[in-house]
Amino acid sequence: MIASTPKPPYYAVIFTSIRTEGDNGYSETAERMLELAKQQLGFLGVESARNDIGITVSYWKDLAAIKAWKENAEHQIAIEKGKAEWYKDYKVRIAKVERDYEL
Amino acid sequence: MIASTPKPPYYAVIFTSIRTEGDNGYSETAERMLELAKQQLGFLGVESARNDIGITVSYWKDLAAIKAWKENAEHQIAIEKGKAEWYKDYKVRIAKVERDYEL
């Protein structure tokens, strides 16, 4: 689904990743993290696709909301498992959405 | 591939889309647009993934580079074909990348 986001400005976290082989508990945690992210204050929406690489873009009200989510204890554990087991490589970009338009 | 982008700030164009059924000349044009985008002044990189939805994030030096690419004549034709034939829905977000970090 294309996320229904409010009128800009708001923030995007662009998470691009390359997975390791096998699931290793990834799917379950990914689902839980999505559920948990949706409960955060300031969460606006998320879009995700994967084939050779995975791209997940989550949208947030402001930088404070992104910081709070990054520091969430359960998320922190997932980040560490991600670094150790699930991702061969990843990059996170924090970006301020200034404009948007639709079909 | 995860795009190798310079130190922020720079810009991201987050293009999220849902395709119509069938190819209808889409693949050939998409490949050509990628080739053409890479030749633009200020183009920094691109990341793309698709399953239920497609997400293509292209990275640019500044807003002027994004504007010039949007106004490129061949790209304009592709945009119109995209609206008419290839996409059921899409959303474009222009965002300023303020920070990034890697694995």
Give the pair of three-digit tokens for residue A24: 């290793």
Q: Report which secondary-structure segment, H or E, holds A33.
A: helix A26-38
- As to burial, measured by CB atoms within 10 angstroms (0-12 exposed, 13-18 middle, 19+ buried), residue B60 is buried
How many Å lie between the alpha carbon of A103 and the closest alpha carbon of chain B? 5
pLDDT of residue A97: 98
How many Å lie between the alpha carbon of A24 and the closest alpha carbon of chain B? 18
pLDDT of residue A6: 97
Mean pLDDT of A69-94: 97
CA distance A100 to B12: 12
Mean pLDDT of A1-21: 97
The answer to whether A17 contacts B2, with C-beta atoms less than 8 Å apart, is yes
How many Å lie between the alpha carbon of B4 and the closest alpha carbon of chain A? 9
CA distance B52 to B37: 24
The answer to whether A2 contacts B91, with C-beta atoms less than 8 Å apart, is yes
CA nearest B82 in A: which residue?
A: A103
- Interface confidence (ipTM) of the complex: 0.96
Q: Is A70 on the interface with B (CB under 8 A)?
A: no
Question: B14 to chain A: which residues are within 8 Å by CB?
Answer: 12, 14, 57, 97
Q: Note the pLDDT tens digit of each residue in A38-48.
A: 999 999 999 99
Bridge partner list, B16: B55, B91
pLDDT of residue B93: 98
Question: B94 to chain A: which residues are within 8 Å by CB?
Answer: 97-100
Q: What's the distance, CA B23 to chain centroid?
A: 18
The answer to whether A12 contacts B12, with C-beta atoms less than 8 Å apart, is yes
Q: Note the pLDDT tens digit of each residue in B61-103.
A: 999 999 999 999 999 999 999 999 999 999 999 999 999 999 8
Of B12, B52, B91, the CB nearest to A102: B91
pLDDT of residue B19: 97
Residue reference for tokens 């150790």: A84
Contact, B51 vs A49, CB < 8 A?
A: yes
